[in-house]
Amino acid sequence: MKKYYSLLILLGIFVILFPSLQEKFYDWQQDRVMNNLQSDLSKLNYSFEQAMSDTRSPDPAIEEERIPNVDSGALGVIVIDKIDVQLPILEDATEANMKVSATHLVETAPIGSEGNAAIAAHRAHKKGRLFNRLGELEIGDQIDVTLADQTQIRYNIDRISVVEPTDLSVLEDPHLGQVLTLITCDPLINPTHRLIVRAVADTTDARDRDLS
């Protein structure tokens, strides 16, 4: 009988403490996610800084030859018809990847899933290369992504902003479904900020539709 009462007391204490313990667990998870995002953003900023300090001018033809396609391990291809962008998407915003493609920030949501998938690319000085013309986009413009498994997703731009390089909020989930966030330097010359173009997946049609 004494053991029974002891068990009831322990159970009561657990019930009382459970909300507090649950809150601490959620806080720990949130801190872990934010730390991962901070690490991803730091890597991205480093890649941007390295590009700005690199004064070499490689032959554009050589650069084009190095651009991988979906068959070579890319996650997919991003197409923005309005600004003549068609780029492979590679995993991880490393310095090497960002020289030749758009890159997916590894700690953000997978492209095509619920959450915020962030894609970054340099803003090359050569007109039309990489995200050079991203500043020409407007709210309502469309972005198309074809994944390696041929899944096609169309996104509609709903927000454009310029933020500080350390602004983590652009990587957080706005809870709008499938979100795509494009990131590049701003302004084009001697950049000090980041141009952010956010788009939300178009759910009015089937996900695997013909985008032609």
3-state class percentages of the chain: helix first, strand second, coil last, to nearest 5:
35, 25, 40
Please identify every residue annotated as catalytic: 122, 185
Residue ranges of the chain with per-residue pLDDT less than 70: 1-15, 17-37, 40, 51-73, 125-128, 205-212
Against a cut of 0.75, is the pTM above it? no
Domains of the chain: 10-201 (2.40.260.10)
Determine the Cα–Cα distance for residues 195 and 182; give it in Å rounded to an integer: 8
Residue 123 and residue 194 in contact, taking contact as beta carbons nearer than 8 Å: no
pLDDT of amino acid 200: 98
Determine the Cα–Cα distance for residues 121 and 77; give it in Å rounded to an integer: 13
Interval 114-133: pLDDT, tens:
999 999 998 876 666 789 99
Determine the Cα–Cα distance for residues 188 and 132; give it in Å rounded to an integer: 8
Residue 189 and residue 183 in contact, taking contact as beta carbons nearer than 8 Å: no
